[in-house]
Structure 1
Amino acid sequence: MAKIRTTPLHSNFAVQVHAQVMDLVDDPDAIEELKSLWQKSPVMIFRRQSLEESELVRFTEHFGRCETTGRKDIQSPYQEQIIYFSTLKYADGRFVGGFAGGDDVDWHSDQTYQVRPATGAMLFGTEVPRDGGDIYWADQYGAWDRLPRDVQQLIEGRTGVYRYAKRYAMLNALELKDKEKANAMLSLPDAKHKVVLTHPRTGRKALYADPTTLVEIEGLSKAENERVLPILFETGGHPSLVYRHKVHNGDLLMWDNGCTMHRRDEMRLDQPRLMKRTTFRLSAADYCVPQP
């Protein structure tokens, strides 16, 4: 097929892909071209898509194995690989999916508190509110480049300690209302990952310093951690590195958590919202996969 056309949305970090997913999904050459694009542009936006849940899963699994969540309360009743984010409710009053509150945690990367994070993610906008809920991504390749040289030298090769309890203290209270689920998450052991990741294909370095979970960098003194961590967190979300996306119905958003962070604006709870997400495990041979 002809070369896939893209438009930069923020340098080459975020791009719009001008194609219909279902025109690409059965074309091996097109999938390989998308993989190559994604390695250079870790945020890809496909507009005006029409996807059944099975098609979303099928597309996702070209890039990595889909994960299934243990939280049945937010899982799709049709595809176990999909979770819902929604303001809608079932007839019995339960929210359809999770994370229905208007607030959101600040800049973060998904699953950093897990020993083996699944860093690939897709989010499909089935019903999108008119007001609020804009999504932002921050380029962590650019964050590494912006760090002062002395900070780069201090942290490169070092391992960070990532703890769910820190994230929990910052979460919207609606995310984990169930005390049993919350206690299970709070009992997770600390995860340890390198705070600087290197892309195996491009050689680019990315900062991996999630402000919602990173509590310390091993080998640094208490004073050094207190000095350096705020620098990492501020640099990771620097305005020059940020792409802001106004989501519309039919948008398919695809990103790599190993070299990006993201956040969402507050949104109106009196407006309908239904977003469908897949999370998938990327290959360490092809992507910035966190390593202990």
Structure 2
Amino acid sequence: MTVLAQELKFRPLHSDFVIEIDERIEDILANPDAIEQVRRLWQDAPVIVFPRQSLEEADQVRFTEQFGHCESANRKDIQSPYHDEIIYFSTLRYADGRFVGGFAGGDDVDWHSDQTFRVKPATGAMLYGLEVPKGGGDIYWADQYGAWERLPADVRALIDGRTGTYRYAKRMAIMNTLELKDKESEQAKEMAKLPDAFHPVVLTHPLTGRKALYADPTTLVAIEGLSEAENARVLPLLFEAGGSAELVYRHKVRNGDLMMWDNGCTMHRRDEMQLNQPRLMKRTTFRLAADAYCVPH
């Protein structure tokens, strides 16, 4: 087993927002001090890339659990048959013709933050690229600390401390061709019944005090206390700030990349994929502690 250096090797990929840690996950797992270093680094860099990994599913789950409670997947149709905490995104098919995972469509995916439509979102996420297409499918992350700072002062004053209404029906209308191809399926019908979720549109990191915009354009439909006219004016400004080009890191995913991010202070999207190329990605989601991360209450 490799013995890690006293300090983890990392380099910035986009200011202090995205970093790459060039260490093997199995070695980090064997070293409690290394785990603690990753936790500290993640406070300032909410996106971390671990390149060239060779991970068993059990190791991905175990690594995930170092940072929060690892959820069991609610999408049973795309769940790993070996570990129910993992879901697959894939263009591959089982022998009976079913896709191995979800999100197999070639369309691009709009800016979003995972699980904003849930009453209690799990804001931590890890995505492992086991088989990555050579063309398309690049992943982008946008810094929502920076998005908050880019907003005009009057808009910040208007929305700070207010609650937003987040609705899955909006997301379903935008992204249904990717998530739930058959609107009449039982899965689609159940998702369509989800009640609205209510979250602050600005989150404050409990340790650093930094504020992050939490305005998912695929689910946020209104801000409490604003008039219809104010919502119509303000929401497009929030969505535009959230995806500002200066705040975006574009990652060309390669086989073996493990990507870890905090949905409380980032948004992400991906490019269109080539469906004639093999793809298999494995994702875990996990609940972060409200006393250490930007967690919507």
Range into which the TM-score falls when normalised by the shorter chain = over 0.9
Q: Which residue of 2 aligns with 1:215?
A: 221
Give the whole-Å Cα distance in 2 for the aligned partners of 1:139 and 1:16: 16
1:185 aligns with 2:214: no
Deviations 1:59-97 (A, max 9, x none): 000001111123221000111110000000111111001
Tell me whether 104-113 or 272-281 shows the greater mean CA deviation. Answer: 104-113
Deviation, 1:173, is: 1.6
Q: Which residue of 2 aligns with 1:127?
A: 131
Q: Which residue of 233, 239, 246 maps to 1:240?
A: 246
Q: Are the equivalent residues in 1 in contact too, given 2:109–2:272 (CA < 8 A)?
A: no
Q: Which residue of 2 aligns with 1:254?
A: 260
Supply the AA of the counterpart residue of 1:73: D
Give the whole-Å Cα distance in 1 for the aligned partners of 2:286 and 2:148: 25
Supply the AA of the counterpart residue of 2:153: R
Supply the AA of the counterpart residue of 1:285: D
Q: Which residue of 2 aligns with 1:263?
A: 269
Q: Are the equivalent residues in 2 in contact too, given 1:17–1:44 (CA < 8 A)?
A: yes
1:99 aligns with 2:67: no
Q: Which residue of 1 aligns with 2:153?
A: 149
1:288 aligns with 2:268: no
Q: CA RMSD in A?
A: 0.9
Q: Are the equivalent residues in 2 in contact too, given 1:121–1:279 (CA < 8 A)?
A: yes
Give the whole-Å Cα distance in 1 for the aligned partners of 2:51 and 2:7: 18
Deviations 1:78-121 (A, max 9, x none): 11110000000111111001110001330000000000000000
Q: Which residue of 2 aligns with 1:52?
A: 56
Give the whole-Å Cα distance in 2 for the aligned partners of 1:73 and 1:265: 24
Give the whole-Å Cα distance in 2 for the aligned partners of 1:167 and 1:282: 23
Give the whole-Å Cα distance in 1 for the aligned partners of 2:219 and 2:19: 28
Deviations 1:211-259 (A, max 9, x none): 0000000001111100000000000000000000000000000000000
Give the whole-Å Cα distance in 1 for the aligned partners of 2:228 and 2:196: 18
1:30 aligns with 2:18: no
Give the whole-Å Cα distance in 1 for the aligned partners of 2:109 and 2:131: 22
Deviation, 1:177, is: 3.1
Deviation, 1:180, is: 1.4
Give the whole-Å Cα distance in 2 for the aligned partners of 1:172 and 1:133: 18
Tell me whether 269-278 or 71-80 shows the greater mean CA deviation. Answer: 71-80
Give the secondary structure class of the aligned counterpart of 2:53. coil
Normalised TM-score (structure 2)? 0.96
Give the whole-Å Cα distance in 2 for the aligned partners of 1:220 and 1:264: 32
Give the whole-Å Cα distance in 2 for the aligned partners of 1:203 and 1:216: 25
The runs of at least 4 aligned residues of structure 1 exceeding 4 Å deviation read none
1:275 aligns with 2:281: yes
Give the secondary structure class of the aligned counterpart of 1:210. coil
Tell me whether 281-290 or 97-106 shows the greater mean CA deviation. Answer: 97-106
Q: Which residue of 1 aligns with 2:171?
A: 167
Give the whole-Å Cα distance in 2 for the aligned partners of 1:290 and 1:71: 22
Supply the AA of the counterpart residue of 2:219: T
Q: Which residue of 1 aligns with 2:15?
A: 11
Deviation, 1:132, is: 0.1
Supply the AA of the counterpart residue of 2:265: C
Deviation, 1:174, is: 4.2
Give the secondary structure class of the aligned counterpart of 1:94. coil
**Residue-pair matches, total:** 291
Q: Are the equivalent residues in 2 in contact too, given 1:109–1:210 (CA < 8 A)?
A: yes
Supply the AA of the counterpart residue of 1:238: S
Give the whole-Å Cα distance in 2 for the aligned partners of 1:150 and 1:209: 17
Q: Are the equivalent residues in 2 in contact too, given 1:105–1:172 (CA < 8 A)?
A: no
